[in-house]
Copies of this chain bind each other. A is one copy, B any other.
């Protein structure tokens, strides 16, 4: 029955389960070769950066080129710590999910630098509009781990009163906007928020993150149109981790060479960067933040990375991509790369790293123990059931009052 030649073009990845992982079609320019223009450059002048790849750490783990942010070792060690914590936390939470402690979980493995380095390059009060794979921001901003876990297990201390799926954090005190389960909806909201920052005379900017797959949504276009038209101080990040659940990035990219290139069509400064390079993410975010704060408008940043694990606990990637792809990923692992850079500088060593991992794992385990004292989804206590009727409106109207009474709570 099947036509061997499809009658219209349907893009497909180079390899599928059973094949050997192969990224030979991906061109990786050497680190340090991209230029770093002044932040006042016109968006239209950044075409080379949208098509290139800003990289700082080279294959010897040395920081090279104009984009090297020349960070103090202390800062890099902090970044390393946040990334390791993100990974350890993700790992533990996934295990707990498998044990039935929570309904769902999503890891960010392989992409820790995208969130952590960006968060560190931003001011702590810059409002972030993340998607569900930037939990690293929370660690970088110092959110209490027990609080994070209480949200994930929807217990009585969940700051969201059990209303959201795990991982869909909100943390107003940390200027971390609510994560929507609906893809890309927050991209244009971030632009509106940024405009309001300007309106109020704040120096704050905003940043938002979506995935490669999500860039296909209409709201992507809306966000870029708004950002371009009103010259808003916002950083619009596209995290190209190669996959959108089972769908490879080519389904959203189509014939275009990079996702960053889209930004050029709106006259926005657009950068494609090595998302597994902590220093590149840091430097690019700093550049974009400076540009935004100086009134030169928005920057589109495509972070080129790889989703090293399943989409979520509901997903099994062995059904659609070869095993071992993560190891074959030509841009390596963000934790390893920053670690090796620090080691090369004489500012870190394997023992300290092992100790760090152990310390953080213990922290996570201890935090979970504490979190459980506030209840679990399965055994409670949860947020009191009548809270289900609260916060629909500032005050419940007669309908909600009746309904609460009907439920007898």
List chain A positions with a Cβ less than 8 A from chain B.
Answer: 7-11, 43-44, 47, 195, 198-201, 216-222, 225, 227-232, 250-257, 261-268, 297
Contact = CB atoms under 8 A, between A and B. Distances in A.
A253 B267 CA distance: 9
A286 to B, nearest CB: 22
Contact of A255 (B47, B216, B257, B268): B268
Contacts of A44: 255-257
B232 A255 contact: no
Given A216-B225, A221-B220, A263-B265, A199 B7 contact: yes
16 contacts: A7-B201, A8-B230, A8-B232, A9-B230, A11-B229, A216-B221, A218-B221, A225-B252, A228-B254, A230-B254, A231-B254, A255-B297, A256-B266, A256-B267, A257-B267, A261-B267
A389 to B, nearest CB: 34
A198 B8 contact: yes
A403 to B, nearest CB: 30
Contacts of A200: 7
Given A7-B199, A8-B231, A44-B256, 9 more contacts: A218-B219, A220-B221, A225-B254, A228-B253, A229-B252, A229-B255, A255-B268, A256-B266, A262-B266
A221 B250 CA distance: 16
Which label, helix, strand, loop or mixed, suits the secondary structure of the A interface?
Answer: helix
A6 to B, nearest CB: 9
Nearest to A215: B225
Nearest to A261: B265
A221 B43 CA distance: 20
Contacts of A254: 225, 227-231, 266-267
Contacts of A230: 8-10, 254
A114 B316 CA distance: 51
Contacts of A265: 256, 261-265
Contacts of A222: 216, 218
Nearest to A197: B8
Contacts of A264: 261, 264-265
Given A254-B266, A261-B264, A262-B266, A8 B216 contact: no
A9 B229 CA distance: 8
A268 B229 CA distance: 23
Contacts of A221: 216-218, 220-221
